[in-house]
Chain A
Amino acid sequence: AQTVTQSQPEMSVQEAETVTLSCTYDTSENNYYLFWYKQPPSRQMILVIRQEAYKQQNATENRFSVNFQKAAKSFSLKISDSQLGDTAMYFCAFMKPSVSGNTPLVFGKGTRLSVIA
């Protein structure tokens, strides 16, 4: 079974600074997807960024980028120019593709990020 570990329960960052959230995972699969989801106090889980394991290039989405180290099974999220609206719980998630289509997400326990003005 796959497991996802987020070792930082809470983090804080000054507005406009850069912060990195850590995630490690355990799997014997070679092909899989990794995601970072954001869950603000409104509770709506929002996809931040997605990485396909077969792609060596790290994914980027505006101020958000990942450092994907497949051999080390590490998938960290970097938020640049942090904004107050980035305050939320951040979840790292793993998905194993299958021939039958979408499969369940396996989530870590989350990191609570606070952006301070």
Chain B
Amino acid sequence: ETGVTQSPTHLIKTRGQQVTLRCSSQSGHNTVSWYQQALGQGPQFIFQYYREEENGRGNFPPRFSGLQFPNYSSELNVNALELDDSALYLCASSLKLSGTYEQYFGPGTRLTVT
């Protein structure tokens, strides 16, 4: 176990709707990264938050947004859902400047857009 949890486990939404996915980081970890993993692919970086500020973004449109809270939890919000947003969404927590560069992953949320 990595100490990182995500909710919900599965989610089904309709195209055009909005969704919020949640992540609880390992205690003391000040950095959270979100990844999208399409079926049969490796995870793709969406964005990273450090001390409640966005600290880097991958090649994802602005309708993907996030929040990080002081209690080490975070959210990924996706607006105007598209069919291609169907994927496994992973969050990973880490301790910035720890020197180990190790990221601890949660079990993921499987999002299906119909």
* Residue positions of A touching B, CB distance < 8 A: 4, 33, 37, 42-47, 50, 91, 93, 95, 97, 100-110
Q: Say whether B102 contacts A43, CB under 8 Å.
A: no
Give the chain B neighbours of A108 by CB distance below 8 A: 42
Within the assembled complex, what's the spacing in Å between the Cα atoms of A13 and B95? 36
Within the assembled complex, what's the spacing in Å between the Cα atoms of A44 and B86? 18
Give the shortest distance, in Å, between A107 (CB) and chain B (any CB).
3
Query: How many B residues have CB within 8 A of the partner chain?
Result: 34
Give the shortest distance, in Å, between B4 (CB) and chain A (any CB).
9
Residue of B nearest to A93 (CB): B42
Known interface pairs A33-B101, A105-B45; 10 further A-B residue pairs with C-beta atoms within 8 A, sorted by A's residue number: A42-B107, A44-B108, A91-B42, A101-B97, A102-B103, A103-B101, A105-B33, A105-B43, A109-B41, A110-B40
Q: Say whether A102 contacts B45, CB under 8 Å.
A: no
Give the shortest distance, in Å, between A97 (CB) and chain B (any CB).
6
Within the assembled complex, what's the spacing in Å between the Cα atoms of A100 and B31? 11
Q: Which 4 A-B pairs have the closest CB atoms?
A: A107-B42, A45-B105, A101-B96, A104-B45
User: Within residues 33 to 86 of chain B, which ones have a CB less than 8 A from any CB in chain A?
Assistant: 33, 35, 40-45, 48, 50, 55-56, 58
Q: B2 in the interface, Cβ–Cβ < 8 Å?
A: yes
Known: A101-B31, A107-B43, A109-B41. A44 touches B2 (CB 8 A): yes
Residue of A nearest to B102 (CB): A47
